[in-house]
Homo-oligomer: A and B are copies of this chain.
Amino acid sequence: MVDSNDFRKWGKQMVDYVADYLDNVEKRPPLSKVEPGYLEKLIPSSAPDKPDRWEDVLGDVERVIMPGISHWHNPNFHAYFATANSYPGILADILSDAIGCIGFTWIASPACTELEIVMMDWLAKMLRLPTDFIVSEGGSGGGVIQGTASEATLVSLLAAKTKHIIRCKSENTEMDNYDIMSKLVAYTSDQSHSSVERAGLIACVRMRLLKSDDKYSLRGDVLKEAIQKDKAKGLIPFFVCATLGTTPSCAFDNLKEIGAVCEEEDVWLHIDAAYAGSAFICPEFRHYLDGVEFAKSFNFNPHKWLRVNFDCSALWIKDRADITDAFNVDPLYLKHEKQTEVTDFRHWQIPLGRRFRSLKLWFVLRLFGVKYLQEYIRTHVKLAHEFEALVKSDPRFEIVTEVIMGLVCFRLKGTNEINEKLLKTINEDGRIHIVPANLRDTYILRFAIVAANTSSNDITFAWEVILELAEKVLHECNHFL
């Protein structure tokens, strides 16, 4: 059976395979061209009784898997948002797998909990978060690694909900949980991520999608008015999710205005900076985070733009008690002698089990260093501006929203239909890959800097492809007319 000698040999082959893959990923297509159901035809319909040979398994990676991969780390992949991938991240994950501890409690592997606490402090200091969020500075709160921003939003919403239910019950003893829940209202902008609406769905609370302004930013007066309207109806506003860097257009809610309203109204402010948060390690972008001092919870994804492989979503809570109150269920087989002195992250998340993910942060921050990571962010932003300049140079196109981070929203001047046609043509062509979004009723094309090795040449290339295909689309339309 597979033993450590096999692993020494196969593991090194895999390391070389991975290095070769990433060295040459630009030769593979950014968007897979397979048809639905392609894979089942390539492999047996049940598991083998006896072991397959390693050579066959490794060989099947090329034969079976690679045709069905959309290569996110190809420099011509410009869809969604950046997703991290780095050698230090991979190295740490190998170690995490080998240690194979499940860090639900401190005692289950103290290093797993303690490194996470210190790494979340390192990150918090890089972002210059208020000291409330920093354990080593005596803060009442602290950070925890979640799997995704979806979970971070849900966890924050549930903590806020529990806090408000407890408070309502103490003020109004005849109300039961369902009476209270039926009156709770959460708010977010009409631009926020689908996972925010979903969090409301899961937690069974009303989630109002408030109208953002003409820059797709949620403003304080809109929030204030919505809260007052709801209070007049006897409802209980309790939670606001503000977004820094929305998914459709990388817009920023007005945090200072929203924060002030949340403070006045005693409403929990959660900040979702899933993508843009990484940029706040650069002094020149830090001002976008001003107002974070109003937040009860703050989240961003190092697995998006900070070179830490998925999954690693960083969530900070201003007050530890708020989160542990929401989830604390405490069976004997998970109790241990030190639990009054230490943090048990099982009370900070939805799952019980957890991987040793802080190793990835540790390896990435140490092997790159903060200065390099700042330069990395700056390069992506610079490339976005290069693309923006190219779009602006052609009067047939327009830039739809201000380019702030590594995303450019653009379109052909004209109808939604012609832009839909352009997007379809680009993705069918397959040399580059982008996805669309709707901004109110306007169909736009999103061009994101995703891969670590994207360069100015790739931006020029992408623009040439887009121009060529746009001319084709425009020509066909004119012909049709």
Does any Cβ of B come within 8 Å of A78's Cβ?
A: no
Q: For the complex, is A68 an interface residue (Cβ under 8 Å from B)? A: yes
Interface presence of A283 (CB below 8 A): no
Known: A181-B178, A350-B150. A11 touches B15 (CB 8 A): yes
User: Contact flags (1/0) for A367-388 with B, using CB distance below 8 Å?
Assistant: 1111110000000000000000
Assuming the A-B contacts A11-B94, A51-B369, A367-B2, are A32 and B177 also in contact, with contact meaning beta carbons closer than 8 angstroms in the complex? no
Check A8–B2 contact: CB distance below 8 A: no
A136 within 8 A of B: yes
Tell which of B108, B204, B352, B435 touches A177, judged by Cβ atoms closer than 8 Å. B204
Instruction: Evaluate contact between A350 and B178: CB separation under 8 angstroms.
Output: no
Query: Which residues, 324 to 374 on A, are CB-close (under 8 Å) to B?
Result: 327, 329-334, 337-338, 341-342, 350-353, 355, 359, 362-363, 365-372
Give the shortest distance, in Å, between A103 (CB) and chain B (any CB). Answer: 9
Contacts of A115 in B (CB 8 A): 39, 64-65, 68
Q: When chains A and B are docked, how far (Å) is the Cα of A36 from the Cα of B8?
A: 35
Assembled-state Cα–Cα distance A98/B248 (Å): 27
CB distance from A168 to the nearest CB of B (A): 14
**Which stretch, A41-49, A264-272, A314-322, A469-477, touches the partner chain B?**
A41-49
A71 to B36, CA, bound (A): 43
Inter-chain contacts of A50 with B (CB < 8 A): 369, 371
The yes or no answer to A170 lying at the interface (CB within 8 A) is no
Closest beta carbon of chain B to A311's beta carbon, Å: 6
A99 to B89, CA, bound (A): 13
A232 within 8 A of B: no
Shortest Cβ distance from A178 into chain B, in angstroms? 4
Against B, the Cβ 8 Å flags (1 = close, 0 = not) of A56-76 are 110001001111111111000
Q: A40-B136, A57-B363, A70-B109 are in contact. Are A14 and B47 (CB under 8 A)?
A: no
User: Roughly how many angstroms separate A332 CA and B248 CA in the complex, as a whole number?
Assistant: 9
- Check A97 for interface membership: any CB of B closer than 8 A: yes
Set of chain B residues within 8 Å of A372, measured between Cβ atoms:
1, 51
Could you say which residues of chain B place their CB within 8 Å of the CB of A243?
none
Q: Which residues of B contact A22 (CB under 8 A)?
A: 4, 98
Whether B446 and A333, one on each chain, are in contact in the complex, defined by CB atoms closer than 8 angstroms, is yes
CB proximity of A152 to chain B, nearest CB, Å: 10
Contact of A47 among B15, B16, B365 (CB under 8 A): B365
Which 10 residue pairs spanning A and B have beta carbons closest together? A68-B111, A11-B15, A178-B182, A85-B100, A39-B114, A148-B351, A18-B98, A7-B87, A4-B19, A52-B366
15 contacts between A and B (CB under 8 A): A1-B372, A2-B367, A7-B90, A8-B16, A39-B118, A40-B136, A43-B118, A47-B125, A48-B370, A85-B100, A89-B97, A151-B351, A194-B330, A201-B327, A248-B332
